[in-house]
A and B are shown apart, each in its own frame.
Chain A
Amino acid sequence: MATQQVSIDDATREAGGGAVRRAVKDAAIWGLVALGVLGPLVGLHAVQDIRGFLRLDGRWGLLAVLVGLVVAGSLFGSLVVEPWKERRARTRPKAHPLAERARVGFGRWFPPVAIAFVAVYPFLALWLTGFSGSIKWIDNFGIQILIYVMLGFGLNIVVGLAGLLDLGYVAFYAVGAYSTALLAKEFGLSFFTLLPLAGIFAALWGIMLGFPVLRLRGDYLAIVTLAFGEIIRLVLINWVPVTNGYAGISGIPRPTFFGIPFTASSTGFAKTFGLAYSPIYRGIFLYYIILALALLTAWVTVRLRRLPIGRAWEALREDEIACRSLGINTTNTKLTAFAIGAMFGGFAGSFFATRQGFISPESFTFMESATIVAIVVLGGMGSQIGVAVAAVAMIGGTELLRELDFLKAIFGSAFDPTQYRMLLFGFAMVLIMIWKPRGLISTRSPSVFLKERRAVSGSLVGEGRG
């Protein structure tokens, strides 16, 4: 064994000179490509002068830095990463897909710990950062992330379980938000009455949109759902008498604590309980609402997986033809997946409307759908823990960029980290896919098993063609 290792090392060393030469050549090619592509985009900046004409400014220093980074990255890739990958592939035997039992333990202890953490999170934030500092951590981080966790769980039913790729999920989110906003403004209904209504409306829309597209499969389904998502957004923009167009709907009533509003008035929450007024109480209250909704979604999904309908979804994802041969009504199965996924999207939309107090079509662009799909796929389709982890990583990570003020000290005061938010978001999507095409959590726990529950590698799970 040892001699064999030595001989391989010798061979690598002999080939080393050639490898370096090749690496340098690759780096030179990548440097030229980078120069060609980035030269005009970064090296030349088209700026508008006072007369409104465009003029070009050179940014050669920045260009040089970026091209240098590309060359260095290419060298690093071919001299460090590639040999490391080869060595790892040689030394580590490929794990058998079924022999991943250690991960099951992770799946057992992680959810309760995570739930316990998110349950105490607002008070932890309050304790660590005080009343004025914690609003950001509870609202911008906690609530924002949990909305996406919930949307991810909802879409996970459609994409992860039933294997139907839906790129227009934001449509149902919009239906929930707009139905809540309009009904609250027109009829003065409260959030807790509207929440189930929004879910029902969204589910009805899910059935309406789902019905005609069920004959489609794979990418076609994805594109039609995308088109529906865009149509709904365009209607929201253009149907001004009802939706108020681009201006959106403002003044949506906020949820109350059993009829007690979170205001500074004498009947408000703070006065009633003898506390000093602070906006943080509403933040905490909203946080627990969305936490409850997200947990409800997760729990319903877990339970549904064990019901005939959930099993039918997963069977549909694995093989549609076999499903049909075994007498499963694929139309109904797909429709229920669409409708239930849409319902949770509607709940989330309803919550979003009441949390913001203002909604406009800008919040329901394709970007949102893409983000939610990305969270589901990056998490590892079908894995609830994965979806939650991906939502925290992607949404929390990009929100965190708003906090990087210290970078201004390095790059100068004109440097604004927030404008790189979506840039890095897209970049991270590509990187994670290349690193782990099967998503962050690549094991599944089956809902039926013979003697003991074993995690199954994600690569054994079908992805659905419908």
Chain B
Amino acid sequence: MDVFLQQLINGITLGSIYGLIAIGYTMVYGIIGMVNFAHGDVFMVSAFFALIAFLVLTSWIGIGSVALALLIVLLVSMVLTGLLNWAIERLAYRPLRGSFRLAPLISAIGMSIFLSNFVQVAQGPRNKSIPPLLRGEFVLSDAGGYVVALSYKQIVVWVVTALLLAGFWYVVRYTPLGRAQRACEQDQKMAALLGVDVDRTVAITFVLGAALAAVAGTMYLMYYGVISFADGFTPGVKAFTAAVLGGIGSLPGAVIGGLLIGIVETMWSAYFSIDYKDVAAFSILAITLIFLPQGLLGRPEVEKV
């Protein structure tokens, strides 16, 4: 039971990160029907932005307060990643909109290769690690020598994720921007006829998705303390798995899917074998798609002639 509780805590933390990335996939898929393959690498780049912002703050400016540093790092990373994804959308995807279906996918795969190799060339192939930022933890139970603990880091991940998701949900639900987004999702042509600037809405969708990926990237860096140029692919695919599991196009689905994938992964590592944890995640993906193609909260696709 103690092991279960501890793994549940770890799983929710990991799942929050997956959920944040998954929203980027699900939104882009919802609005332009494209699997944004480069999103995992955008997440990785955002962690590098966070790393460099952190180094600037600590070694050049010398900020002592961890909370303030974390906040600044988070904001810097969100803004820069948003900018990056805006540029990517503009250069690599927008010229291909309305073209045939595989073209943007290939362009996105090319972009993914480009981003990871760009970071490798620019920042070197080695792992970059930072000293742990927050050390403390709450001990929840200490029965029988097995300590169940909730670390400060995990609390930060939970709180930041929850706050941003709430803010994001508000934006999509109650602002004109969110309305435009949902309109484009349903019918781009009609939305354009009614005065919605589709190009701008799509661009903002990419920026928002990137900002959430940047939150995930910053949290990832803070939680694990290490990042490398190759760290984009696997979390990216798992986050996509989460998006599909939750029902692609559905925002709450993405978060639920992310949490489920995170929990399954940690549970699998604890009870079966850590080697096969990724196999478990990918098997879930395959099994969900085969038996429940629309995902947990998705709408079933209607086939029209």
Contact = CB atoms under 8 A, between A and B. Distances in A.
Contacts of B305: 321
Contacts of B110: 374, 425-430, 433
B111 A40 contact: no
A36 interface: yes
A234 B234 CA distance: 12
Contacts of B91: 430
B35 A56 contact: no
Contact of A377 (B49, B102, B120, B283): B102
Nearest to A431: B110
A41 B45 contact: yes
Contacts of B283: 227, 231
A: interface residue count bin: 35 or more
A46 B100 CA distance: 41
Interface stretch (A217-225, A289-297, A402-410): A217-225
Interface in B228-253: 233, 237, 240-241, 244
Contacts of B48: 40-41
A228 interface: yes
Interface stretch (A253-261, A269-277, A348-356, A416-424): A416-424
B80 A37 contact: yes
Interface in B67-95: 79-80, 83-84, 86-87, 91-92, 95
A56 B128 CA distance: 12
Contacts of B131: 53
Interface of B: 29, 35, 45, 48-49, 51-53, 55-56, 59-60, 79-80, 83-84, 86-87, 91-92, 95-96, 99-107, 109-115, 117-124, 126, 128-131, 233, 237, 240-241, 244, 273, 275-276, 278-279, 282-283, 285-286, 289-290, 293, 301, 303, 305
Contacts of B129: 54
Contacts of A438: 100, 103
A430 B99 contact: no
Contact of B107 (A46, A224, A366, A430): A430
A222 B29 CA distance: 14
Contact of A220 (B80, B119, B293): B293
Contact of B55 (A41, A56, A212, A235): A56
Contacts of B100: 437-438, 459, 463
B109 A41 contact: no
Contact of A224 (B52, B119, B289): B289
B282 A230 contact: yes
A429 B109 contact: yes
Contacts of A231: 279, 282-283, 286
B158 to A, nearest CB: 27
Contact of A46 (B51, B83, B101, B290): B51
Interface string A62-83: 0000000000000000000000
